[in-house]
Chain A
Amino acid sequence: MDEMEMDGEAYQQMEEMDEDQGMEEEGAEDAGVTFEALRDIIEKTDDEGKDQVVQAREANYISKGTYIWQLLAQIETGEQAISFFAKHGHNTPIKFVNCKRKPVPGDQFRPYDLVKVDDEKALENEYFTISAQGVVHVSQEKGKKYSKSDAVPTEFLSLSEWMQQSTMFNVLTSMKFFKHYIIGKVFALWKGNVRFKMYNSTRQSLARNLIQTRPAFLTSFMDINKTLYEMQTLKTFCVPKSGKTVDLTDFVNDQKTARE
C-alpha cells in the first residue's frame, strides 16, 4: 500500500514539474527570448566552467568552498584519485592524495581498493601516496621502529601501471576459479582438518579396542607372530646342492624326502 501511495505521489510530482516546465517555456516565448540570447547563455555557462578550471589551476592553495576544494572533497577512493590526476596532472594545488587499503571482510582480498585518508596522522604502517607521477606504496613492518637512517620499504608504480594491474586483478578475480579460490582453500583446509580429526579418533579407538594390543593378549600375540615368522622361513621346495645330474623320478623323490 505504502509503495503504491509513494508511486502515486511521485507521479503527481512529475506531472507538476512537467507543467512548470511547460509554463516556463511559454513564459520564455512570451518574453521573446531569441536564439542569440540562448547561445549567449550557453557560452556564458561554458566560460564559467572554463574559468573554474583555470582558477583551480592557477590557485596556489586550496581554500574552502572553491571549485578545487569541491574536487578534493569528491575524491573518496584511490580510483577517483588516479582519475583526478590523470585528468588534471600536476597543474592543480592538489599534488598528492594519501590512501589506505579499503577495509574488506576477511574472506575477500582486494589489494587495489583504496580509500582516501584526509588526516596524515591517521596513516598506519601501510599506506599509498597517489600523485600525478604514480602511486607510492609505503609498507612498514608492524612493531618495527624505523630510525632516520633506516630505509622504509616502498614501491613505486606509475598510474598507468597501477591501473593496468588493478584491471588485470579485477578481470582475474572475476573468473570462477580465482573468485572462489579463498573459499575453496578454506574448505579444503577444513576438510583436511576434519579428516585428520576422524583419523585420530579412529586411531585412538583402535588403540583402545584392538585385541592384540591388550596387555592380556600382547605376549601371546608376539609369540605366535614369531612362530609364524619362523614357519615362513621354511620352504617346501629344496634346491639341490650337489652338482650332479639326476633322473626326473629321482629328482621328484628327493624333493619328497626333503619335505618330509
Chain B
Amino acid sequence: MDEIISTRLALLVAAVADSRTLKEEEDLEHAKMGQAAKHKSMVLQKQEDELKNRVLKLAKRNYQSLGTFIRLIDYMVVEAQVKINQESADLILAEMGKDQKKYGIQTTVSYAQEGMSFEPAKSEFITQFEKILQDMQSVTEEVSRVISHQDFHQFIHGLISDSGPRFRSIVEGSEAYASSKATIQ
C-alpha cells in the first residue's frame, strides 16, 4: 500500500515539475527546422504570453506546494494506521464480549485443596494478548512513511520536524486505545 502511495506521489511530483518547464519546451518548438514561421498578431501573441505566464506562475506555485501536499498525505497515512490499529483492538474486544462463540481457547482447570488452578494461567493469557497487541502495532507500523522516501526529501526539508506524527506515540497516548487494551487484559 505504501508503495502505491509513494509511486502515485512520485508521478505527481514528476508531472508538477514538468509543468514548470513547459515554457522551455514551447520555445524550442519555435526553433524547429524545416517548418514555416508562424506569424501571429501582436494582440494574440500578448494574450498567449499572458496565459503562458499565468500557467507558469501556477505551475511554480504547485511545485512550491508539493512539500505541503506530501506532508498532508503523510498525516493521512498515519491517521489510517492509527485507525486500523484501533479498529483491530476493538474487534478483539467485541469478539471477547460475544456470548456464543464458534471457537474457544483451551484451558485446563485443576481442582486441588489449595483451590482451582488454570493452565495456561491468567498471567499467560495477559502476556500472550499483550504480545498480540504489540504485533498488531508492529505490523501496522511496517507501512513506511512517505516522508522517509528519498525522492521527497528536497520538498519536505524544513517543513516537518522530528516531533512530527509518530504512530506508536499516538497509539500509546490514545485514551480510546488505552481503554480497549485495559479491557482486553
Identify the A interface with B (CB < 8 A): 211-212, 214, 216-217, 220-221, 223-225, 227-228, 230-232, 234-237, 239-249, 251-252, 255-256, 259
Q: A216-B62, A252-B132, A259-B135 are in contact. Are A244 and B68 (CB under 8 A)?
A: no
Identify the B interface with A (CB < 8 A): 1, 4-5, 8-9, 11-12, 15-16, 19, 58-59, 62, 65, 68-69, 72-73, 76-77, 80, 83-85, 87-89, 91-92, 95, 102-106, 120, 124-125, 128, 131-132, 135-136, 139-140, 143
Q: Judging by beta carbons under 8 Å apart, are A211 and B68 in contact?
A: yes
Q: A231-B84, A256-B135 are in contact. Are A248 and B128 (CB under 8 A)?
A: yes
Which residues does chain A contribute within 8 Å of B76, judged by CB atoms?
Answer: 224-225, 228
| B84 in complex: contacting residue of A217, A236, A246, CB < 8 Å | A236
* Complex: chain A residue closest to B76, CB-CB: A228
| B88 in complex: contacting residue of A237, A248, A249, A252, CB < 8 Å | A237
Give the distance in Å from the alpha carbon of A251 to the alpha carbon of B136 in the complex.
14
The main secondary structure of chain B at its interface with chain A is helix
The main secondary structure of chain A at its interface with chain B is helix
Give the distance in Å from the alpha carbon of A228 to the alpha carbon of B72 in the complex.
13
Q: In the complex, which of the residues A224, A227, A235, A252 has the most CB atoms of chain B within 10 Å of its own CB atom?
A: A224
Which residues does chain A contribute within 8 Å of B105, judged by CB atoms?
Answer: 245-248, 251
| 7 cross-chain CB contacts under 8 A | A212-B72, A224-B73, A236-B136, A236-B139, A237-B89, A237-B91, A243-B102
